[in-house]
Structures are given as structure tokens and as C-alpha cells.
Amino acid sequence: MSFFVARLGYGRTHVRSRHRRLHLVYCFLQRLMLPDPHHLPARAGECCVGAAVSLHVATQLRRPVPLVGGRLPSMLGAHVPEAAVDEDSDFACSKDDVWTDAHVIWEAQQEVFAIPVSEAVQGRSQDRFRFGVTPAICLHVAGTASVQRCGIETLVMSLLTFLRGVTPRHAESSRKRCSQGAASPKARYSSAAEASCLALEGGHMASFEVVEICAGAGGQALGLERAGFEHALAVELDQNACNTLRENRSEWKVAQGDVASEDTWKPADYEGVALLAGGVPCPPFTIAGKQLGATDERDLFAWAIELAGVVRPRALLLENVRGLSMPRFAGYRQHVLDRLASLGYVAFWQLLQASDFGVPQLRPRFVLVAMKPEDAPYFEWPEPAEHTPSVGEAVVDLMGSNGWRGADAWAKRASKIAPTIVGGSKKHGGADLGPTRAKRAWAEMGVDALGVADEAPLPGADFTGKPGPKLTCEMVARIQGWSDDYDWNFTGRKTTKYRQIGNAFPPPVAAAVGSSIMRAFKHVGVPQQRESVEHDPIYRVLRESDGFVTFNQLVRAVGRPIDAPEIERRISLLSRDFHIEVNEDKALPSYKLGAFRAFVGQEDHDRHELFMKYQARIS
């Protein structure tokens, strides 16, 4: 049997401290569980419940009433019987997911459950009913009875009014206290008593946490925050980027160091988090580089897929450069999809243009989203924005901020979308707006791309002989998507700031994708049947075979006429990411797929030695 409890008091004396008041809000809506009818009763010394209480509850459930204050004395000092738990009320999730989600309280019809759980959880639940805790006001729900939305909202608003003075930092610290003391890392989210703690941020109940790897300076982080996610952890290697994260969100937990090292963070501690997100290094896939893929020591994409098997998030979000979408990496992409399917996820790839989401820049990003089967049918890629400003529209106010009289004329000339901003790396010099082709595009818009200015042009600035003024870091940030709606401060000197901005995932794009994931979590819209997209049929045939695969078998797998040179070229591409055995005993060779070359967490992988050797140059 189950019922909702609204806690209106705490402690033996009147509420005096902030954290106790917060505890009141975080746990004010919980569904308490009584054991199965056939479950053994509590034995002596196990905090038994008297017969009078059991009779009282049974009587009340036959005839539900909104408030049973007159019958509460029998509950005073009562302990929860054996196997009684705090069960989370997220009906949309699977049975093993007890994520906190306040919205379902009035979106789902309540049911009666009786589920025995472990003694560790039982003990923490029992602590909440010891002597001295003020009486609970119970909303008993039986059968198909439902809690009226207006009643719950009235209670919520009353409590929020009472606690108006609570600051986000106090809310965060109290939320962390609620999650401490778990018997194991997994219990951080599987313990119903702990999962019921709801964080209060800006007047909203935040119940979707994200762990972000390779977080950079916060582009994706800010967008996901806008979409409704709360950061449980941000992991980043670069000290300057970590400083920027801490400068803007001092309450976030930021871990600096090698994301693949347990000296930096322990993934198992975050098992069951709502979202695992990140922008892993792009040099292994970029068209401007060697496209070494799995053999590049900086490649962490395959490792991030394996990480999902440890963290077991409800959804995975990874973004990278357009190069990963090229035919060169068809086998790599197919491996990612197959591995995610084996972990129980449905995955989608999509090439997104930042300019489709209000960012005045041609910045294609190849995005991977993977979700649990129960959420995947509700996921849809975000729709493009109605309007995207030009470079001139976006930064004309900044260009004229020091009184330069040519700002309006310059803005008319800069009436296009910018080329992709290149953040560069520690290996390559200072701030620069991109390669030669990009510099020509900037020059056509009246921008000098040979560096970044310290400030906007002064009133008498003359750019004769030059394409025009240089952009400042603030202007570059605006073009990257940090508008007034996405306020953010970057720490460090000019070149450091520029690299942080240029290497970021534009916040509006992250917000759009994050919002789509959030809608899928809440099962908004009509579910759609999604077909699996095959990226490399040759890889699939090789993977499914235990032995060598002949030329004719590969031709049949492709499904169209294909000659030997084309097969050899495709095998050559695969061999850059996988070990391939070739048998040339016959007229036409046959092939056998070997191990994946990428780093997926192996302790003896070359990646560890190379990382230590080149760590100072990695950005």
C-alpha cells in the first residue's frame, strides 16, 4: 500500500536553521511504501508497528480522505515496518530507475505498490519516522484515486513562499547532504529515500542531472542548463577552462584532469545519472588533420561509449566535428551503433548546422544521441530557429561601443553568416580566425582575421589597406552563440579566452538538443517507430562472421555492383580503425575482422604513454 506524505515540520523544536527548512522542501512530496501482504512482519527489536496502526491505515484506505489529522496520534513515534521504502514516483522510467521527477506527481495517475527492498534502504527510511518528527499529513490514494493538481500546487506554492529566502548555493549544499551516506555508489540513485530529495533552483524543482566530460569552457554546459539539466559534475583537462566554469557556476563540482583516469573522477559514483554528455577531442576526425581515428592517442569517442556502460545514463549526448560523418569513418560509426545497441540504447546520428539555431556562423557539428528504448520513440531532432542574424547584426553594438563612426556601414557589409570559428590549440600560436580560406571569407565581410583585437575600434580608427577591424573576444563569443540570453564570463588573457570560445559547442545548439532530450524523457508528443540506419554493410558482414569473408559475400552485402578495387579501398579504410586479417590463397582475397584499435579503457594501451608525453600540448 502506498500514500503521499507532505511534511510540514522537522525536528524536536521549531525550525531554526536554513538547511532544515530546505530539508522540508526537498522531501515534502514522497510516496511511502508498506510491505507486501505476504511479507513477514517485523521481528522483536526491529521497530515493530502496533496492531492499532495497521487497523487504522486499513480503515482509511477503504475510504480515502484528503487529510486525516484527527487520526494521526496513532502514527506518532511509529517506525516503518520491515521492507518499507520511499519509492520514487517517476512512472515513465524502468523499474530499476528511481530518478526524482516532480512533474509526474500531477501528470500520472497514482497506483498502489508494495515492493520489498534491501535493509540498507529500509534503515534510512526508518530514520524519518523516529520519535520527535512532527506528524505527517497523509494524502491516502487507493486504486484509481488521483491527487488533484490544484491541491498539490497550492501546497507547493505555500512552502515556496515560506522559504523565499533560500539561495541556490544553500539549495545545492543541502541537496548534496541528502545524497550523502549511501551504502554504495549505486545507492546514490537507487535509494528511494535519497532520490526523493529535490533540488530547488530558481523556484523550479530540478530532477535531471548531467555528468559532462571534456566540458571545455561551458558552451554545452550552459545550453544544457538552459534545457533544464543540473550539473552533477563537469570534467575538463584545461586549467583555464576549469577556471571559467568555476567563475560562472561556483556551485558546480568541477574535476580537472585526464577524464579517462580514475584519479580525476570515479564514473561508478554517478551510475544512473539522467544524461552523460560531452564534446570529446576532435583532432582524430577533423578534415584539416590526418584523420587517424582510432589510432590517434587523443581519441576518446570509443571510450565515451564504453563509459555509458559504466555510468548507465538514461541518455547519452556526444558531439564532434563534421569529419566523423565522412565515409572514412563509416566502420567506426557502425561500431558505435552496434556497441550502444548491445548496451541497451537506441542511437541516432545527425549533422547539425549552428546557423540553423540562431548562431551567425557556419559551424557543422556531428551529434550522437542515444536513449533507453522506452524514451527513444519520443526523441526528435530540434527544429531550426525562425531567424539567424548576420555577423553585422550580431555584433554591430559591440563594434560601435567605443564610438567608431563606421560601425553601421561595416555591419551592412558584414551581412553574411561567418565561417567556422577555429579555436586552435596550444600547439599552434595565438588567436587566429582560421585557415586561408576562412580568412578570405572574413575579409569579404570587412574583418581582419589575422588575430584578435583587445578592444573595439576607437572613434577615429582608419583601416585603409586592411579588410577592416579585427574582432574582439567578446565579439567572437557573440558569433559563437553567447548572446545576452547566454551570459558568461571567460577567464584568462586574450589568447586563452579566444581558445576557450573557439573550441566550444554553441550554447543555443546545446540547448536545442538538450530540450529535445528533455521532451523525450517526459514522453512529450506522439511516439515514432525508428528504423536502424546502417552506416557500413561491409563492416557488419565482417563483424557477424567468425571466419574469413569472401569477395562475393561482401558484394552481396553491399547490395549493388562493386568491383575489387572498391572493396579493397573500403577494407583499407576499415583497417585504420580495426585489425583486418587478409587471406590471399585464392584468386580473390578474403577478410576477417579483428580487434578495434581504439582506446576503450585498456590499461596497457599506448594512449596512456602518449598522453603523458604530449599532455602539455593537448587542449
pLDDT tens digit sequence for 477-501:
999 999 888 889 999 999 999 999 9
The per-residue pLDDT for 106 is: 36
The pLDDT tens digits of the residues spanning 62-91 come to: 555 555 555 544 444 444 444 434 444 343
- Asked if residue 433 has pLDDT above 50, the reply is yes
Q: How large is the average pLDDT for residues 567-578?
A: 93
In which residue ranges of the chain is CATH 3.40.50.150 found? 198-379
Residue 282 annotated to the active site: yes
Identify the weakest region by mean pLDDT among 167-181, 260-274, 392-406, 428-442. Answer: 167-181
Residues contacting 448, CB < 8 A, separation 6+: 442, 463, 466, 467, 468, 469, 470
Comparing 197-206, 303-312, 359-368, 584-593, the range with the smallest average pLDDT is: 197-206
Q: Pick the most confident of 165-174, 432-441, 560-569.
A: 432-441
Q: Which of 93, 214, 282, 473 is catalytic?
A: 282
Give the three-state DSSP class for 518.
helix
Rounded Cα distance, 181 and 188, in Å: 9
Domain 198-379 sits in which CATH superfamily? Vaccinia Virus protein VP39 (3.40.50.150)
pLDDT in the model for residue 551: 86
Q: Which three cell numbers stand for residue 19?
A: 538547511
Is it the case that residue 126 has pLDDT exceeding 80? Answer: no
Average pLDDT of span 291-320: 96
Instruction: Tell me if 435 sits within 8 A of 399, measured CB to CB.
Output: no
The SS3 assignment for 70 reads helix
Our CA dihedral for 397, 401, 406, 407, rounded to 10 degrees, sits at -10
502-512 mean pLDDT: 96
What's the pLDDT band for 97 if we cut at 50, 70, 90? very low
Task: Say which residue the cell 582510432 belongs to.
Answer: 294
pLDDT at 397 over 90: yes
DSSP state, residue 523: T
CA 455/CA 539 separation, integer angstroms:
53
Confidence of residue 412 (pLDDT cuts 50, 70, 90): very high
Measured CA to CA, the distance from residue 487 to residue 501 in angstroms comes to 13
Task: Return the C-alpha torsion angle 222, 225, 231, 234, nearest 10.
Answer: -20
Q: What is the mean pLDDT of residues 383-391?
A: 95
pLDDT at 119 over 80: no
DSSP for 303-326 reads: HHHHHHHHH--SEEEEEEEGGGGS
Share of the chain above pLDDT 90, in %: 53
CA distances from 35 to 40, 190, 192, 394 (A): 9, 18, 15, 61
Residue burial 475-486, b: 16+ Cβ < 10 Å; e: rest: bbbbbbbbbeeb
Q: Is 331 helix (H, G, I), strand (E, B) or coil?
A: helix
Looking at per-residue confidence, does 229 or 126 come out higher? 229
